[in-house]
């Protein structure tokens, strides 16, 4: 028998369907609530609202579980690759050999951007933030592929859009970096794989060819896998929201990049390093910063700490911490910010304020230290996150767009403003 929840409004009973997920998550379906009762549900910041049903990613924040399509994040990091995870997220299953080769070939085939786009980069000031450039460039890609902008695409057109985007965003990111350091753009090499090509486009110069070693490659692969999806977060929900108007995928992803930029979301990786550097410059006294974070009259937050969903630990942070030690050891880097980060973590984890609020290091706490060791500039960190998150955004857009009966996203509100009043002409308004 179908389970229901009983609701009583002003003495009248209503029965609402219960939806149960495959991992026993439970929801009350309120889709008919307003039509049947005149009431809506109020949940600013969506802490308690399921905006969709999805088969992509499962998170249990209390137990620290993160799975893509059923596969545990730690196992994927250990045994898979970012490209394989892209396929898994977007198409739902791990690829066969043949499917994987076709997928990689298709992505590789789009490793160039229109030559005209190069002049766009030159128009930005040298200090322009690469997230601003990336978001603008991704939206601008749509200009060059008008055939892919149709609201109703065939399966083939959708595949074409997806593979173009996957491939070109990495080129745009590398070019944004080159622009910021004032170096000539470097084209991809067909014999290199997705990530090696990205690093080549970033770090090869006319003076030296960059080839990452296996430890660096593995660390980047893991970072990108870890970033690849995180169900209904701020940027992914933005991609779904924009995509629900049937705006094209380039526009939806561009909006997602902007959402990710904020320091409470993906921008935290940049803010963490800036915070650690500030502590270092101030003599390394991290306890002062913990006190600042606890002070309710001070807007300062401990960046890289806390998460809306994880209330035990962030499994991504655990994995990253391990690779952080490995990469620094391997490259022989003695980064004082790593010691500060470890001290800060230890102090925060034993502090009552953080314990009571279940605030733990999140994915961004250690990722910046790895990116820095790889010589990626601080303002590029969130771009790296965006590259990693790309398959997740695409997977959610695809899932939504292919859902039968999909409707435009359109939340409601409770109006608390002035009630009806008459217009007063300017001359009669007086002064204050």
Residues of the shown chain interacting with ligand CMC in the complex, contacts defined by CB under 6 A:
230, 233, 264-266, 268, 293, 301-308, 357, 359, 362-364
Write the Ramachandran bin of 231: left for phi over 0, alpha for psi from -120 to 50, otherwise beta: left
Choosing from 200, 307, 314, 396, the catalytic residue is 307
List the one residue out of 230, 357, 232 whose CA is nearest residue 305: 357
Please state the closest distance from residue 25 (CB atom) to ligand CMC, in A.
Answer: 18
Q: In what order do the strands lie in the sheet with 65-68?
A: 57-60, 65-68, 71-72
Does the annotation mark 364 as catalytic? Answer: yes
Q: CA-to-CA distance for 401 and 83, rounded, in angstroms?
A: 23
Name the 3-class secondary structure at 305.
Answer: strand
Please state the closest distance from residue 313 (CB atom) to ligand CMC, in A.
Answer: 12
Choosing from 129, 230, 364, 396, the catalytic residue is 364
Nearer to ligand CMC, 212 or 388 (CB): 388
Nearer to ligand CMC, 129 or 227 (CB): 227
Nearer to ligand CMC, 157 or 351 (CB): 351
The residues, ordered by sequence, that sit 6+ positions from 158 with a Cβ below 8 Å of its Cβ are: 398, 401
> In the numeric block, which tokens belong to residue 55?
């088969």
Nearer to ligand CMC, 204 or 233 (CB): 233
Nearer to ligand CMC, 32 or 287 (CB): 287
- Specify which residues 146 forms β-bridges with: none
Please state the closest distance from residue 306 (CB atom) to ligand CMC, in A.
Answer: 2
Sign of CA dihedral 225, 227, 232, 236: negative
List the one residue out of 203, 210, 211 whose CA is nearest residue 184: 203
Please state the closest distance from residue 232 (CB atom) to ligand CMC, in A.
Answer: 11
Place of tokens 């070019």: 175
Nearer to ligand CMC, 256 or 304 (CB): 304
Does the annotation mark 230 as catalytic? Answer: no
Please state the closest distance from residue 345 (CB atom) to ligand CMC, in A.
Answer: 12
Place of tokens 């500060």: 340
335 and 372 Cβ atoms separated by less than 8 Å: yes
Q: In what order do the strands lie in the sheet with 4-9?
A: 4-9, 12-20, 26-28
103 and 394 Cβ atoms separated by less than 8 Å: no
Please state the closest distance from residue 52 (CB atom) to ligand CMC, in A.
Answer: 18
In the complex, which residue's CB is closest to ligand CMC?
306
**Positions marked catalytic:** 307, 364
């Amino acid at each position: 028998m179908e389970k229901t929840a009983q609701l009583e409004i002003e003495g009248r009973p209503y029965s609402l369907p219960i939806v149960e997920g495959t991992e026993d998550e439970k929801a009350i379906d309120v889709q008919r609530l307003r039509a049947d009762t005149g009431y809506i549900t109020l949940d600013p910041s969506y802490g308690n609202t399921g905006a969709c049903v999805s088969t992509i990613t499962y998170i249990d924040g209390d137990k620290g579980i993160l799975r893509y399509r059923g596969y545990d994040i730690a196992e994927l990091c250990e045994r898979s690759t970012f490209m394989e995870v892209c396929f898994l997220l977007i198409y739902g299953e791990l690829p066969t050999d043949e499917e994987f080769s076709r997928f990689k070939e298709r992505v590789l085939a789009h490793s160039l951007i229109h030559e005209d786009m190069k002049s766009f980069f030159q128009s930005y000031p040298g200090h322009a933030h690469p997230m601003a450039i990336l978001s603008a460039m991704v939206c601008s890609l749509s200009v060059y592929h008008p055939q892919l902008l149709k609201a109703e695409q065939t399966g083939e057109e959708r595949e074409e859009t997806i593979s173009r985007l996957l491939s070109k965003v990495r080129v745009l990111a590398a070019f944004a970096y080159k622009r910021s350091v004032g170096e000539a753009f470097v084209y991809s090499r067909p014999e290199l794989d997705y990530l090696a090509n990205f690093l080549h486009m970033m770090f090869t110069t006319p003076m030296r060819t960059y080839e990452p070693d296996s430890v660096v490659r593995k660390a980047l692969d893991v970072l990108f896998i870890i970033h690849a999806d995180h169900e209904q977060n701020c940027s992914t929900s933005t991609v779904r929201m924009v995509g629900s108007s049937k705006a094209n995928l380039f526009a939806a992803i561009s909006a997602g990049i902007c959402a990710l930029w904020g320091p409470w979301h993906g921008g935290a990786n940049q803010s963490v390093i800036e915070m650690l550097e500030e502590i270092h410059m101030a003599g390394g006294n991290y306890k002062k910063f913990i006190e600042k974070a606890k002070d309710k009259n001070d807007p300062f937050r401990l960046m890289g700490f806390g998460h809306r969903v994880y209330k035990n630990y962030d499994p991504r942070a655990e994995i990253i911490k391990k690779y952080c030690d490995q990469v620094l050891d391997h490259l022989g880097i003695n980064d004082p910010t790593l010691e500060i980060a470890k001290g800060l973590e230890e102090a925060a984890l034993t502090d009552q304020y953080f314990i009571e609020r279940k605030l733990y290091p999140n994915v961004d706490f250690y990722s910046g230290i790895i990116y820095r060791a790889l010589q990626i500039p601080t303002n590029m960190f969130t771009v790296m996150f965006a590259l990693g998150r790309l398959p997740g955004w695409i997977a959610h857009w695809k899932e939504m767009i292919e859902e039968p009966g999909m409707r435009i996203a359109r939340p409601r509100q409770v109006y608390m403003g002035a009630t009806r009043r008459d217009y007063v002409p300017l001359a009669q308004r007086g002064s204050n």
